[in-house]
Structure formats: structure tokens, C-alpha cells
Structure 1
Amino acid sequence: MKLRLGLPKGSLQEATFHLFKRAGFNIAVKSRSYFPSVDDPELEIVLMRAQEIPRYVHEGVLDAGISGLDWIMENEADVVEVAELIYSKQTTNPIRLVLAVANDSDIRTVADLQHKRIATELVRVTKKFLASHGVEAYVEYSYGATEVKVPRLVDAIADLTETGSSLKANNLRVIATILESTPRLHANKKAWDDPWKREKLENLAVLLQGALRADAKVGLKMNVPREMLDNILALLPAMKHPTISQLVNSDWCAVEVIMDEKKVRDLIPALKRNGAHDIIEYPLTKVIP
């Protein structure tokens, strides 16, 4: 038996392949192939646009897939969310679907979009957002280059942004955020009801989320004199508690902790000043709570 899994082709493809590699799956794809090979005989991977994946999962063409919450909502896909996977092309931040206008536009609020023209790839989601604010507007599908359509072709756009740099480069100003979106591992309901496929998906979710947790964390090991141990422990953050081992025939202890990588550069000098020796920092592959 195989699990047919849709993965996003395009801007998120490289980040997705990297995540799967850290989770223990090696995916190889030829330049124009939509059917990559993977070193798991129980997986069959299909590459396609993230916009289409939820629809194929909903219809049962795919057992499961990874796509953003935005596209699940746009497709109105009735699927099972297996896991949220917080990663993106450039950062670990969610992407945002925002309403944006030209910097010099008189439009300041959502209400000002009444009877205006808006271009977007996410037509259904945008219409529902406007309706929830009592706004009637003409929302048209954009086939690309959405940012350059303001103000000559449309009054506003609803566009996805990760860092906001493209909007700024095109002299656009955000007036509202419609939603925040992260990738979701989602499954067809019939596939989810199949015990084998459900277990396979749950196992996959554990490994993928474990790889994501490890992404921002590192391990620290150090040797500490027994009399300085309390001082060192007071400095150390930990997922639960540091691991402490007594060194054989010695007044020294070995201390090990898992922590956020961004805190290490400030912590290591403080550890050294308080008596820690032989400090080792090492990367993590997976963190499974």
C-alpha cells in the first residue's frame, strides 16, 4: 500500500524538500518531473501547484498534501488537518494575505473599498472578508504581477506577503490583513479513516514537526565544578530540566541542555565566567516532545 502525497511545486518546493530531508526522507526530482523519487517505498509523491493540492485532496485524487491554509480556504476543501507546519520560503513566519493600496491613495480602511475594483488570486477568501465588513466590491482574479496593477488597473489588491518587501518596492500600503497562513499537512477524509494511511500520516506529522522544532534549537554540553553547579543552573533555560551527570572520580559534573539557538551567543560567555569548561554546541535534527 502507498500513501499518495501532494507537495507544493514552485516557491515552497525547496523549503519543503529540505524539511523532509531533516525529517529523514530523501526526495530526488528531475528538472521537469512532477513525480519525484523518495527513499520510502510507502510514499508516492506528486508535485503540483500549492493552489491545486487541497482540491485534489478533497476529491480523493490525493490521499494527503501540504498546502497553505489560504489555499485550503480558497478551495473550500473539506479535509482533515493533520498538522500545522510553520515554515515558509524565506522565514519561519506565517505569510499574510493583505489588502494593499497605493501609498498616495485616499483609501484608508476596508470600508473605503465599497464599489472599488480589487485584484487577487484568492477571490473567494477576499469576497468573504469584504462581506464580513459589509463591503460590496468587484473582486477579479489576477493571473500574476498583482502588485503592478495598482493604481492604473485596480484600486486595491489582496496579495500574499511574507516580508512585505515586494509591496514596499511597488509603493503599496497595507490597510488590512485578511488572514495569516501557514502550511498544513491535510488529508482526504476517506484516507484518514483508513487505519494504515492514518498511522502513516500521524508518523509523518511527528517527524516533520520534530524537524521544525529542532530548526531553532541547539544542544549545549559543558563540564562544571560541583561548587559552581547552582550558579550554572540558574543561567540555563531548558525544555524541561538540564541533564546532570557526575564525572567518575571527580568533583566535576557534565551538564547538557537543549535551548533556543538565538540565546546561545549571549549565554556562552556567561557560562564561561561562572566556571563552565569544555563547552560544546551541537545542532539538532529532530526534537520530539
Structure 2
Amino acid sequence: MSVLKLGIPKGSLEKATIELFEKSGWQIKLMSRNYFPEVDDPELSCSICRPQEMSRYVESGMLDAGITGKDWTMENESDVEVVADLVYSKVSKKPTRWVIAVPGNSEITTVEQLNGKRISTELVNVTRRFFAEKGMDVDISFSWGATEAKAVSGLADAIVEVTETESTIRAHGLRVIHELMESNVQLVANKAALQDPWKREKIENIILLLQGALRADRIVGLKMNVPQDSVDTIIALLPSLNAPTVAKLYKQDWFSVETVISEHQVRDLVPQLKRAGAEGIIEYTLNKVI
């Protein structure tokens, strides 16, 4: 039997990724102190890997595909195929950004003023290319963690750090002077694996269901009974992906109306529907929208 080797990201994306696969139809069960979780699909073999290393494992063929960040694929300059962008809305509503920050009391206000200065970051290669393209000479050192502290303690003049809201950066008394790049979650695949028809189809099937689950994350189904003389009024109120589904109730002058809408619209819409004559309004969650 053919098996697809898939990398699951360790750390902040781990729980959200496993929950996403569960919603998509796969049960991934973590084992204590084990980097090879069980999965209820004999055609799938999962490994837990750091996002920073994922693209290297995929490029080498140790994994056929894996979930990681665009930032780490760029950092490693990995020769892999990006086969899907995944918007992890449950992890964050904002994109992950890599920014250049300096101490709040620093006289540095622009990137150009960093020429000849010391910069600490985990994203060394991307940072080096950024300054090289500007023709600037900077001293870049790898940070093993607590990067903000390097600038606060004077070990670096600036840092390149990942952030979503900048709250941690501001909490350390730092000030952002430039946004280096935005990153997002991606599914990357080994190029040789994509030449295998079975593996390509398996990867495409996974993408289809993952994207369907992500699309369903913030939308709900809405179903109601509507008297015949209110149908047009109700339909005019309803947003939908296409047109609402309308079906006549058996031996009655009533209709069943069903639609799919954004979750945030429900609280304002339901009272309007009730006042317009709708009854038996049901809201239900969706697993996937394909």
C-alpha cells in the first residue's frame, strides 16, 4: 500500500493543525513523548516537526509534504513546491509579520541608519538578503530565543522578530521601524512526490478537505419556515453563497428556506427574520464548504 509522509508543525500551530485535520475527516492522535502520532488513515503517516525545519525535511524527501510558514521556507531557501496557502483563522485573525525593532530610546528611526549596526534574529538568511539588496553592511547574529532581550540589554542595536499585534515588542520597550515581510501557513510538497500520480492525488484530496474546513470555520447554516406571503421579503434579507434554497412544505402554504451565511451576521439577521414572519429558525455549524 502506498503511504504519504506528512509533517505536522510542532509548537503554536500544532493544536490548530490537528483540530483542522479532525474537522476535515482525519483523527490524529498524539502519543506521549512520541514524534510519530497515530492517524486513522492507513494511507497517511504523520511526523511532528519544528516549522523551522519542515521545508528541509520535505526537500530531502524524508517527508512528502508538510505544513510550515512561508517565512521558514524562505529562510531555508528550500526547493519545495508550495501547493496551498492555509488561513488559520482560529490561530490568529492577523497575518504574522517579521519586523525590525529598536529600543524605544534609540535614535534610530529608519532602516538606513542601521548600516554598520548589530542585528539579532532567528531569521538570519532572510534578514541578510534584505540588507544585501539595500547594499548595507550589518552584523547579523543568530538568536536562540528571547530576542527582544538582546536589544534591551544592548547586545544588539536592533532585532528582526516575528509578531502579530506587536504587544510583546512594546512590552519590552521596543519600537518597530520597518516591516520586513508578512508570512502565512503553507502546505509544501516534495517535487519528486508530486510526480507520483498517487501521491499528487492524495495531496490534492487533503488540500480540498482542509480548505473546505477552513472555509466553513466562520460561516453557519440557517434554516427556517416561512409563510408564502413572506417568502420574497425573507429572501431579500438573506445573504448567501449563491441563492437560498427554497422548498415547499408538504400540504401547507409554507416554505422551508435555507442558506449559508457568515457567523457574525446571525445576531443582527435573526431578529429581522423573525419580525418578517420566519418561524422555527435553526442555526447549525458546518464542517466543510467545498
Secondary structure in structure 1 of the residue aligned to 2:216 = helix
1:185 to 170, 184, 187: 187
- Name 2:286's counterpart in structure 1: 284
SS state of the match for residue 253, structure 1? strand
Q: Which residue of 2 aligns with 1:235?
A: 237
Secondary structure of 2:269's partner?
Answer: helix
Which residue type is aligned with residue 142 of structure 2? Y
Q: Do the aligned residues in 2 keep the contact of 1:226 with 1:252 (CA within 8 Å)?
A: yes
Q: Which runs of 5+ in 1 are unaligned?
A: none
The TM-score, its normalising length taken from structure 2, stands at: 0.96
* Matched residue, 1:33: 34
Indicate conservation of the 8 Å contact 2:31/2:38, yes or no. no
Q: CA deviation at 1:244?
A: 0.8
Give 1:89 deviation, angstroms.
7.0
SS of the aligned residue for 2:241 comes to: coil
Match of 2:174 among 172, 175, 187: 172
TM superposition shift of 1:174: 1.5
Post-superposition CA distance 1:5-34 (Å, at most 9, x none): 111112211111111111111111122100
Q: Give the match for residue 267 of structure 1.
A: 269
The corresponding residue for 1:202 is: 204
2:136 alignment counterpart: 135
- Identity level (%): 55
- Between the two proteins, the alignment pairs up a number of residues equal to 288
Report the TM-score when normalising by structure 1. 0.96
- 1:40-89 deviation per Cα after TM superposition (whole angstroms, max 9, x unaligned): 00111111111001011111111111100000000101111111111177
Q: How does 1:41-120 map to 2 (within 5 A)?
A: 41-87=42-88, 90-120=91-121
In structure 1, what is the Cα distance between the partners aligned to 2:90 and 2:106? 30
Q: 2:156 aligns with which of 154, 157, 165?
A: 154
Match of 1:218 in 2: 220
The alignment partner of 1:215 has SS state of: coil
Question: What's the secondary structure of 2:243's corresponding residue?
Answer: coil
**CA separation in 2, counterparts of 1:135 and 1:233?**
60
Secondary structure in 1 aligned to 2:36? Answer: coil
Q: CA deviation at 1:133?
A: 3.3
Please tell me whether residue 258 in structure 1 is matched to residue 249 in structure 2. no
Partner of 1:56, secondary structure, is helix
How large is the RMSD of aligned CA atoms in angstroms? 1.3
Q: Give the whole-Å Cα distance in 1 for the aligned partners of 2:258 and 2:90.
A: 32
Q: In structure 2, how many angstroms separate the alpha carbons of the residues matched to 1:157 and 1:220?
A: 48
- Partner deviation per Cα, 1:268-288 (whole Å, 9 max, x = no partner): 111112111111100000110
Residues 23/267 of structure 1: CA separation in 2 closer, same or farther (3 Å cut): same
Query: How far apart are residue 118 of structure 1 and its match?
Result: 1.0
Please give the alpha-carbon distance, in whole angstroms, between the structure 2 residues aligned to 1:285 and 1:90.
17
The answer as to whether partners of 2:100 and 2:161 remain within 8 angstroms in 1 is yes
> 2 CA distance for matches of 1:136 and 1:236?
58
Alpha-carbon spacing, 1:88–1:68, altered in 2? closer, same or farther (3 Å): farther
Deviation per CA, 1:182-204, whole angstroms, max 9, x where unpaired? 11111000000000000000000
- Out of 222-231 and 279-288, give the one that drifted further: 222-231
| Consecutive unaligned residues in structure 2, runs of 5 or more | none
Counterpart contact for 1:87–1:93, Cα < 8 Å = no
Q: Distance in 2 between matches of 1:24 and 1:266?
A: 32
CA contact (8 A) 1:223 1:278 kept: yes
Contact 1:86 1:93 in 2 (8 A): no
